[in-house]
Amino acid sequence: MPVPGVFTHCPYCALQCGMSLRDAEGQLLVGTRDFPTNRGGLCQKGWTSAELLASPDRLTMPLVRAYRAAPLKPASWDEALARVAAEIRRSQSVYGPDSVAVFGGGGLTNEKAYALGKFARVALGTSNIDYNGRFCMSSAAAAGARAFGVDRGLPFPLPDLAVADTILLVGSNVAETMPPFTRWLSDQQDNGGALVVVDPRQTPTARRATLHLQVTPGTDLALANGLLHIAIAEGHVDEPYIAARTSGFGDVRRVAAAYWPERVERITGVTVAEQRAAVRLLAGAERAMVLTSRGAEQHSKGTDTVSALINLALALGLPGTEGSGYGCLTGQGNGQGGREHGQKADQLPGYRRIDDPAAREHVAAVWGVDPARIPGPGRSAFELLDALGTAGGPRALLVMGSNVAVSAPSSGRIGRRLGSLDFLAVCDLFLSETAASADVVLPVAQWAEESGTMTNLEGRVLLRQRAAVPPPGVRTDLEVIAALALLLDAPGQWNAEPEAVFDELRRASAGGPADYAGISYERIAAEDGVFWPCPAADHPGTPRMFLNAFATPDGRARFVPVEHRPVAEDLDAEYPVYLTTGRLMEHYQSGTQTRRVRALREAQPEPVVEVHPDLAEACRLNEGDRVRVVSRRGAAEVLVRITETVRPDTVFMPFHWGGSSSANLVTNPALDPVSKMPEFKVCAVRLEAVA
């Protein structure tokens, strides 16, 4: 029976809008509530989110296939779990602990992310665990950590945006990806603030900008260095701040000297006048912010691109100054918390490094194991997926909270890798594209059916309260993890109650960069969320970081000199057009959820490619034609949508669909050397009309 009038948060993006769920004759209805991030706002995805609870597609029984070519058939939980445990034992007894891999997701609660990381290290003893946040946040996380000593998406609360004089928003289409966020930009502009948007597309966000820089895909780094060049040349840098609070400016100044406006214009396509206008708006502001999203980050030089933008922010004296700063807009619901508690290949809970002996000792004590039992760093997401079934690679995989068959780059190749596994187990609500190819599918509860904490894009830890009981036959992810740990005779405690897991997480994170020790479910409910770090019960939490010092050993932020380089795959005669990918307002991630909501499906029923009229003319394409978007890796067949909002040299595809229309059949898995982020945002394609 549903519990009436429960306060919770939306199941989708990192804004995690506050909402209420109320029982109306056996059906849960979404209502608004006044929460400090969304202030009563919701987008269509949020309003329709409860529809999924009663979806006829819901899995309510485990599915098992007897052998790879056999069909999936219903099975009991005991049978399914025993099969998973047996396959794990078999694989590990022959091929060793690393032969079993785990793949998590940025939508999992903190409790699940924590438990999954612990499960991999303690129950499986494998180093092979990573998650889809690698495809999302990793570049910004790496750049933030190397500049500030810690990565928290926004180191300041959202209301600070409303009073910023200038916001530089790079590669973010918040008007479609998190609409209620845009209210803060409206307030900011109503207060007389300027919004500068950098985007190759004239998105709804770009259309509201004071200044839109319609940059060439893959050249944000050069643009950032160019803006810094102008700031230095025109004497706008904050020398006292640089002297007191940073290190390494000399090298960055030298690098920036080579990015004069005319050179940058030729690389980026952004005119000298536009560059100067952007710098004037930033430098003339008393409070200014530089914000990045996937458009800047999902590149094979995403980390360096973010570093270039952080350099600009530091030179202007923004980070750690109240009302100003650099921030990254996290994408996935728990993209922030999901990267802090140990489901990342190189990390332990509390945003600790897995190769740090002190971190290993602390976490091992909480887990009740010998530190030596904790494996070292493993493969990053794409490297892990690309190694599946290869010699020396994992032969069995457990997936939780991710649809890798659709969301990984060059997904045709990843589909073949999944097919070459000895064993694949997937936990999901629906028979996603990935689940459909699994040997065992475990039906799990969804957001409103279990409690748990999420950490939103501000670093505010939130509580989702259970509003309904799961349908019969469905278990929670935590129950699955605990049951498997038991079957595998894992040492330590394996609790399936979210609050008990959270208490363990608090202890594991204590003393780490992302310290949750002082956060409790009661405090979250009473205080509209608590910002980490919060090391003690009487600590107020930290809405604004870095006001006194950065989290580096010497307390100074670090400039990192970075150089522009070409995209991993540039245009040529055979593939003369850039493809960039992104999201639509109505859909979320691989579409497993939103494609099953009627209103959303009807609004955007099938995938399209957006084509500029000049390019359409050159390719002899008309609105609504079927076209193949072809790259060196594969082709996707979609409908043509003609629009002047894209550049004539660039087409845009949303990535919410699987099958033969999946954008990621085409994208390039070239990885960032630091973050291992694939280059989702630009590759070379051609368009072929389908007869």
Partner 1 sequence: MTSCRLVVVGNGMAGCRFVQEVLARDADRRLGITVVGDEPGGAYNRLQLSNVLAGVARVDSIELAGEQWYAAHGVTLCTGTAVVRIDRQAGRVELDDGAALPYDVLVLATGSSPVLPPVAGLLRDDGRLPPGVVAFRTLADCTAIAQLAVTAEHAVVLGAGVLGLETARGLAGHGLPVTLVQRGSRLMERQLDADASRVLTRTVRSLGVQVRPGAGVRAVRVDGRVRGVVLDDGGTLDADLLVLCCGVRPRVELARAAGLAVAVGVVVDDQLRSSNDPRIFAIGECAEHRGRTHGLVAPSWEQARVAAQVITGSGEPVSYRGLVTVTRLKAAGIELASLGDATADDEDGSGDVEVIRFSDSSRGVYQKLVVRDGRLAGAILLGDTRAVGTITQLFDRGAALPEDRSCLLMVRRNNPAAVVQSPAMLPGRATICQCNGITKAGVCAAWQDGARDVDQISARTRAMTGCGTCRGAIEGIVAWLTGADAGSSVSA
Dihedrals φ, ψ of 95, to 5°? -110, -5
78: contact with partner 1 by CB under 8 A:
no
Interface residue with partner 1, options 268, 293, 321, 668 (CB under 8 A): 268
CB nearer to partner 1: give 237 or 296: 237
Q: Which is nearer to partner 1, 176 or 672 (CB)?
A: 176
Minimum CB separation of residue 668 from partner 1 in Å reads: 19
Residue closer to partner 1, measured from CB, 9 or 253 = 253
Give 46 or 320: the residue with its C-beta nearer to partner 1. Answer: 46
Closest CA to 131 of 500, 368, 400: 400
Measured distance CA(28)–CA(625) in Å, rounded: 40
176 lies in the site for partner 1, by CB under 8 A: yes
Instruction: Please state, in angstroms and rounded to a whole number, the distance separating the CA atoms of residues 209 and 512.
Output: 39
675, amino acid identity: S
Interatomic CA distance for residues 591 and 285, integer angstroms: 40
Q: Report angle CA 398, 404, 405 to the nearest 5 degrees.
A: 115
Q: Binding to partner 1 by residue 173, rule CB under 8 A?
A: no
Q: Is 614 in the site for partner 1 (CB under 8 A)?
A: yes
**Stretch binding partner 1 (CB under 8 A), from 268-276, 304-312, 370-378, 667-675:** 268-276
From the list 162, 510, 618, 639, which residue makes contact with partner 1 (rule: CB under 8 A)?
A: 618
The DSSP-derived string for 48-110 is TGGGGGG-TT---S-EEESSTTSPEEE--HHHHHHHHHHHHHHHHHHH-GGGEEEEE-TTS-H
**The token pair that represents 441 in the structure block:** 């599918």
Q: How many CA atoms lie within 13 A of 98 on its CB side?
A: 16
Q: Which is nearer to partner 1, 21 or 209 (CB)?
A: 209
Site string for partner 1, 546-575 (x = CB under 8 A): -------------------------x----
The interaxial angle of helices 261-268 and 220-233, nearest 10 deg, is 160
The token pair at 480 is 């699955």
Work out whether the CA dihedral 685, 688, 689, 691 comes out positive or negative: negative
Distance between CA atoms of residues 9 and 654, nearest Å: 25
State which residue, 68 or 266, has the beta carbon closest to partner 1: 266
- Of 163 and 603, nearer to partner 1 (C-beta) is 603
What is the smallest separation between the CB atom of 295 and partner 1, expressed in angstroms?
Answer: 18
Count of residues near partner 1 by CB under 8 A: 58
Answer for the pair 445, 464: CB distance below 8 angstroms, yes or no: no
Smallest gap from residue 32 Cβ to partner 1 (A): 7
User: In 3-state terms, what secondary structure has residue 574?
Assistant: coil
Residue 596 in tokens: 């099953």
User: Please, what is the minimum distance in Å from the beta carbon of residue 198 to partner 1?
Assistant: 13
* Nearest alpha carbon to residue 443 among 117, 80, 103, 100: 80
689 binds partner 1 (CB under 8 A): no
Nearer to partner 1, 25 or 602 (CB): 602
Q: Is 22 in the site for partner 1 (CB under 8 A)?
A: no
Among the listed ranges 3-11, 182-190, 380-388, 418-426, the one in contact with partner 1 (CB under 8 A) is 182-190
The CB-of-251 to partner 1 minimum distance in angstroms stands at 8
Member of 186, 390, 420, 622 binding partner 1 (CB under 8 A) = 186
Min separation Cβ 625 and partner 1, Å: 18
d(CA 469, CA 48): 19
Choose, by CB under 8 A, the member of 377, 471, 511, 576 that binds partner 1.
Answer: 576
Q: Which is closer to partner 1, CB of 44 or CB of 660?
A: 44
CB 559 within 8 Å of CB 314: yes
The interface region with partner 1, picked from 161-169, 176-184, 484-492, 518-526 by CB under 8 A, is 176-184
- By CB under 8 A, residue 41 contacts partner 1: yes
110-118 helix and 498-509 helix, angle to the nearest 10 degrees: 70
State which residue, 232 or 445, has the beta carbon closest to partner 1: 232
263 touches partner 1 by CB under 8 A: yes
Binding segment toward partner 1, per CB under 8 A, in 38-46, 90-98, 135-143, 453-461 = 38-46
42 is an interface residue for partner 1 by CB under 8 A? yes
Binds partner 1 (CB under 8 A): choice among 254, 373, 416, 598: 254
Instruction: Name residues contacting partner 1, limited to 648-677 (CB under 8 A).
Output: 648-649
Out of 68, 207, 598, 632, the only residue in the binding site for partner 1 (CB under 8 A) is 207
Q: Is 21 in the site for partner 1 (CB under 8 A)?
A: no
- In the three-class reduction of DSSP (H, G, I as helix; E, B as strand; rest coil), residue 492 is classed as coil
Interface with partner 1 includes 598 (CB under 8 A)? no
* Minimum distance from residue 651 beta carbon to partner 1 (Å): 15
Residue 270 or 427 with smaller CB distance to partner 1: 270
Place of tokens 């043509």: 640
Query: In which residue are the tokens 């209420």 written?
Result: 20
Q: Does 594 interact with partner 1 (rule: CB under 8 A)?
A: no
HEC string of 505-526 equals: HHHHHCCCCCCCCCCCHHHHHH
Both tokens assigned to 598: 């009627």
Residues 6+ apart with CB under 8 A from 676: 134, 138, 380, 381, 382, 383
- Any idea how long the chain is? 691
Of 179-187, 320-328, 408-416, 418-426, the window that binds partner 1 (rule: CB under 8 A) is 179-187
Of the candidate spans 266-274, 327-335, 380-388, 668-676, the one that interacts with partner 1 by CB under 8 A turns out to be 266-274
Stretch that binds partner 1, among 41-49, 160-168, 307-315, 338-346 (CB under 8 A): 41-49
3-class secondary-structure state, position 412: helix
**Distance between the two ends of the chain, CA-based, in angstroms?**
53
**The one segment of 173-181, 327-335, 365-373, 508-516 that binds partner 1 by CB under 8 A:** 173-181
Q: Which stretch binds partner 1 (CB under 8 A): 254-262, 419-427, 507-515, 530-538?
A: 254-262
Residue 63 has, within 13 A of its CA and on its CB side, a CA count of 24
Q: Which two tokens stand for residue 393?
A: 């690679």
Choose the stretch contacting partner 1; rule: CB under 8 A; options: 115-123, 172-180, 380-388, 449-457. 172-180
**Considering only residues 471-490, where is the footprint of partner 1 by CB under 8 A?**
none
| Rounded to 5°, angle at Cα 302 from 629 and 353 | 125
| Greatest Cα-to-Cα distance within the chain, rounded to the nearest angstrom | 70
Strand ranges for 513-659 from DSSP E: 530-531, 557-558, 577-582, 608-611, 626-630, 635-642, 650-654
Residue environment code for 379-395, b if the CB has 16+ CB neighbours within 10 A, otherwise e = bbbbbbbbbbbeeebbb
266 contributes a contact to partner 1 by CB under 8 A = yes
Q: Which residues bind partner 1 (CB under 8 A)?
A: 32, 40-44, 47, 175-176, 179-183, 186, 204, 207-212, 214, 216, 229, 232-235, 250, 253-254, 256-258, 260, 262-263, 265-266, 268-273, 571, 576, 585-586, 599, 603, 614, 617-618, 644, 648-649
